[in-house]
Structure 1
Amino acid sequence: MPGRSAVAAGLALACAACVGGSPTREEGHADAMGAVFSVIVYDEAPARARTAVDQALDEVTRLDARLSNYKPNSEWSELNRSAAAGPVKVSAELFQLIALCLDVSRRSEGAFDISVGPLMKVWGFYKGSGHLADPAELSNALQLVGYKNIKLDARTRTIRFARKGVELDPGGIGKGYAVDCMLEVLRRNGIRSAFISAGGSSIYALGAPPGANGWAVKLDDPKQPSRPAATVRLRDQSLSTSGSYEKFFIADGKRWSHIMDPRTGSPAPGMLSVSVIAPKTVDSEAWAKPYFILGRVWTQQHKPPSFRVFMCEDKPDQPCAWIE
């Protein structure tokens, strides 16, 4: 996944910082949401550090069981199966997450849309490496895509779909949400120094490792993979990356990536990667794709002051750069 160097940097820094033996370093890993979640914790109390790591991993396992669209018994999958037939009562957690998704959809003018499930299937990116979409199937899939087809009723806490065949995909926000939930578990345990990663594409840096003023994270340069495009030092911040340079296929002399523009039904052109630094991981992950799709000018005009955005455009003469 894009951003794997972020994890490598965090792990390397953590290992370097642990020389000297104090405070205790604990770590753990779990497979969830199609990614490997990793947690590194520093704390003066070894038992507290271990408990915090284990509980954080339990939390992502819980969320995977609820929010995965690959697990047939998850609440997310049940919603996809049933909401076209009528309103479905959902948990407060799922309702609030989908409400957040719709808010991002509105604010991004439809560039973020969790109803892209049918598009991911016709382009072969659902459980696959991708292929050209059949024109007739693509036309049918586009009829099912659009966040306005998702109807929420806050009074009854129900969700329904406006038409049969609508299918929601949590891929653009689920990992970021899970990282934030894991972070809250660590904080409840009194942890003040930690590094959480969801497959490298979404991370959160809590505090700083011993002897440092932040977590050093390298951002990939898709044009020159042998060296990083930038290095940032994160402290109490998240970073998420969306990239077209690792998951794609070649057809008709073009590269087609898995990042879909819901408005056109096709992979978004013009960008190699976008990294977003934000206070919350759910926000950095959710906004990385709209910024990728909508490009430099729109991002400059609309990004909040609390966000930092790093773009690598698919132009030979355009270096990767921070968007001011």
Structure 2
Amino acid sequence: MIKRISIMMTFIMLTLFFAGCSKKDQEINRTSLKMDTVIQIKAYGPNASEAIDAAFTRMDEIEQMASANIVTSDISKINQAAGKEYVKVHPEVIKMLKTAVKYSKLSNGAFDITVGPLIKLWGIGTDNERIPTDAEIKSKLPLVGYSNISIMDGNNSVKLLKEGMSIDLGGIAKGFAADEVIKVFEKYGVNSALISLGGSSIHTLGKKPDGTPWTIGIQHPRKDNKQNYLGIINLSEQALSTSGDYERFFIKDGKRYHHILNPATGYPTDNGVMSDTIVIDSNIPDGNMLADILTKTVFVSGIDKGLKVIDSLPGVSCMAVTTDYKIYKSSGWKIQLDNLNPEFTMANRQ
């Protein structure tokens, strides 16, 4: 068994060029391990240091609420009470759950936060990763289904209707955190920053101090070398999220088993997509959270169904890469892809 787990920024590399040395342009760069991933923040301005401190504190608060790996979190309490009773939770958890359910409906279940039992069964990215039997997977499938999340708005309470169900917000909490960091920066008057949560969730606030956009390289999905880009894009005031079958996976008998599970089958998604990147304009509310959700939606739905979902959403665009090294774009993708790796070709949707 060959195993590769990456929590560092292995599939989105940032190439940043900075100018100026005044206090206004002073760069503050901090890195921390939070929310089970590496967080990197670069910010500029006289209040940048205080803003980053406050941002990390805010992320700690979110992790304490939303992590399924912290026994005292709201999500753990919901999971522990599955099939038994309602649990009163923080209003921000309600917001994440409601948003998740909304887009689960929109995607016909391609995105579903109730895959917790399947995630635990496979254990991908942990010391217990393995290939479950068909019987084991079939036994867990009845526990997967967003329609069995019951939310009582009046008192912010949640209940999972079947015992044994469990929620995992891994596909949404980082994006929510990035949205909250932007609010913190606005409070401190920071208008030039780049926030990277594990490399998979990125937000560009304003432009670089020299007035140019942020330059972001999207790594080749089948090469570890960080200089092997698929291509390079420029962003300003946008949220970006990427999902791929190379973030957490293991290989056995020549087959890749990755962490993005299909809620309908219980197996790692296998539809020819190996990565996709969502970009959302900053004027779209909760853009980072939506970007996180929609990357999973496209990955599980596949090129045709997934990009149709993206085409229906204003201010949202997507670029998806298939295992035959073809790149497909949503109708709204207008971003120039520079220095395209010659191994990849642009393809037209049918």
Q: TM-score, normalised by structure 1?
A: 0.91
- Which protein is richer in helix relative to its size? 1
Match of 1:4 among 4, 9, 18: 9
Question: What are the Cα deviations for residues 16-65 of structure 1, in whole angstroms up to 9, with x where unaligned?
Answer: 4145445111122222211011211111x2xx111111101111111111
Structure 1 residue runs without a partner (length 5+) = none
Taking only aligned residues, the RMSD between alpha carbons, in angstroms, comes to: 1.9
The residue that corresponds to 1:154 in the other structure is 153
Contact 2:320 2:328 in 1 (8 A): yes
Q: 1:151 to 1:75 in 2, by over 3 A?
A: same
Structure 1 residues 147 and 261, CA, compared in 2 at 3 Å: closer, same or farther? same
Query: Out of 289, 292, 299, which is 1:292 matched to?
Result: 299
- Unpaired runs of 5+ residues, structure 2, are 1-5, 282-286, 332-350
Residue 180 of structure 1 aligns to which amino acid in structure 2? D
Per the alignment, residue 115 of structure 1 pairs with 114
1:231 is matched with 232
For 1:88-237, list aligned pairs within 5 A: 88-125=87-124, 127-128=126-127, 130-223=129-222, 227-237=228-238
Tell me which residue corresponds to 2:318.
309
Q: 1:212 to 1:3 in 2, by over 3 A?
A: farther
| 1:281 corresponds to | 288
- For 2:130 and 2:13, locate their aligned partners in 1 and report how far apart those are by CA, in whole Å: 31
Deviates more, 1:166-175 or 1:218-227: 218-227
Mapped to 2, the partners of 1:31 and 1:248 lie a distance apart of 21
> What's the CA shift for 1:2?
8.3
Residue 39 of structure 2 is matched in structure 1 by 37
Structure 2 partner of 1:259? 260
> In structure 2, how many angstroms separate the alpha carbons of the residues matched to 1:2 and 1:240?
15
SS at match of 1:259: coil
> 1:299: Cα distance to partner?
2.6
CA distance in 2: counterparts of 1:184 and 1:62, whole angstroms: 14
How many Å apart are 1:223 and its aligned residue? 4.2
CA distance in 2, matches of 1:25, 1:212: 14
Partner of 1:86: 85
Instruction: Please say if residues 3 and 219 of structure 1, whose CA atoms lie closer than 8 Å, have aligned partners that are also in contact.
Output: no
- Whether the aligned pair in 1 keeps the contact of 2:30 and 2:42 (CA below 8 Å) is yes
Equivalent-residue separation in structure 1 for 2:127 and 2:113 (angstroms): 19
Q: Give yes or no for the alignment of 1:319 onto 2:326.
A: yes
Distance in structure 1 (CA, Å) of the matches to 2:167 and 2:297? 17
| SS of residue in 1 equivalent to 2:32 | strand
- Kindly indicate whether the alpha-carbon contact (under 8 Å) linking 1:129 and 1:249 is maintained by their aligned counterparts in 2: no
2:12–2:218 Cα contact (<8 Å) kept: no
Deviation (angstroms), 1:193: 0.4
SS at match of 2:170: helix
Task: Output the CA distance in 1 between the equivalents of 2:105 and 2:151.
Answer: 14
Q: 1:205 to 1:33 in 2, by over 3 A?
A: same
Q: 1-side partners of 2:73 and 2:22: how far apart?
A: 42
Q: 1:134 to 1:309 in 2, by over 3 A?
A: same
- Does residue 17 of the first structure (1) align with residue 18 of the second (2)? yes
- Decide whether aligned partners of structure 1 residues 185 and 38 sit closer, same or farther in structure 2, where only a CA change above 3 A counts: same
- Asked whether the 8 Å contact 2:217–2:232 carries over to 1, the reply is yes
Amino acid at match of 1:109: N
Contact 1:7 1:197 in 2 (8 A): no
1:199 & 1:49 partners in 2: Cα distance?
21
Q: Distance in 2 between matches of 1:273 and 1:232?
A: 16
Task: Quote how far apart the aligned CAs of 1:102 are.
Answer: 0.5
- Give how far 1:6 is off: 7.1
**Aligned partners of 2:7, 2:32: CA distance in 1, in Å?**
19
CA distance in 1, matches of 2:306, 2:113: 20
> Does the 8 Å CA contact 1:261/1:293 hold for their aligned counterparts?
yes
The residue type equivalent to 1:66 in the other structure is M
Name the aligned partner's letter for residue 236 of structure 1. E
CA distance in 1, matches of 2:83, 2:69: 19
Amino acid at match of 2:327: C
**Cα drift, residue 5 of structure 1:** 5.8
What amino acid does structure 2 have at the position aligned with 1:299?
A: G
Report the Cα offset of residue 129 of structure 1: 6.8
How many angstroms apart in 1 are the aligned matches of 2:11 and 2:188? Answer: 25
Q: 1:6 to 1:163 in 2, by over 3 A?
A: closer
CA distance in structure 2 between the aligned counterparts of 1:294 and 1:255, rounded to whole angstroms: 19
